[in-house]
Amino acid sequence: MDISRNEVIIQRYDRISLLYDWMDKMIKDEWRNSLLANVRGDILEVGIGTGINLTYYPKDINSLTGVDFSEGMLNLARKKKKKLQVDFKVNLMNADIQVLPFPDNTFDSIVSTCVFCSVPDPVKGLKELKRVCKPEGEIFMIEHMRSSSPLAGVLMDALNPLTVRLWGANINRDTLHNIDLSGLVIVDNIPLMGTVVRKLTLGPNN
């Protein structure tokens, strides 16, 4: 039976869902706090996973919609939501970043943390974020990408087939180039230990 790239990655993330909180410790608390401090209004978090970011959102946001295409991850996020009892409205749903089920110009802020390494078509996914973000909205990202160091870059290339096979993550993607191709504009770019924080606005054609 032919299995799509989406389905293969979904199966891998379902498989590692119980270990994901431990794996996601590579993102430090201060990075999450810094990233989410300025989100506002109605927020979309793509690839919400197990809901690790729920405790880092400001209390005065209007609402949070979290999407993921792994039901295993979402089940754990739902348990976190129930346990935390956050002050804002949270809607968790199964959806594909590459084909988001929302109208144009829906969200004030969009968040992703280490997501676009595993999206089968990252440029398509980024264009979807641009589509559903309001013209005055912003996109906040923490994404790891291929190192600019020649030696480290080659090592990441060598390891990439293994990381893709284990949990569907490409550790050597040129995320900056993909952002450019999507038509988004980078406002802030803060390299942190191989992880890159992005604050994006919509391009001039929007």
12 and 166 Cβ atoms separated by less than 8 Å: yes
**Residue 45's pLDDT band (boundaries 50, 70, 90)?**
very high
How far, in whole angstroms, is CA 45 from its chain's centroid? 7
Q: How many CA atoms lie within 13 A of 43 on its CB side?
A: 28
CA neighbor of 140 nearest in space, from 132, 124, 129 = 129
**Residue 121's pLDDT band (boundaries 50, 70, 90)?**
very high
pLDDT at 12: 61
- Measured from the Cβ of residue 47, the count of other Cβ atoms closer than 10 Å reads 22
Q: Which residues contact 33 (CB under 8 A, 6 or more apart)?
A: 56
Q: pLDDT per residue over 150-203, tens digit each?
A: 787 778 778 767 766 766 677 778 888 899 999 998 888 776 545 555 567 666
Distance CA 96, CA 74 (A): 13
Domains of the chain: 5-201 (3.40.50.150)
Judged against a pLDDT cut of 70, whether residue 51 lies above it is answered with yes
For 37, which DSSP code? T
The mean pLDDT of 43-53, rounded to a whole number, is 94
Judged against a pLDDT cut of 60, whether residue 46 lies above it is answered with yes
Token pair, residue 36, equals: 């989410």
In degrees, to the nearest 5, what angle opens at C-alpha 172 toward C-alphas 170 and 175? 95
pLDDT at 29: 86
Residue 64 pairs in a beta bridge with 43, 90
Amino acid at 58: P
Amino acid at 190: I
pTM over 0.75: yes
The mean pLDDT of 86-96, rounded to a whole number, is 94
Q: What is the largest CA-CA distance in the chain?
A: 48
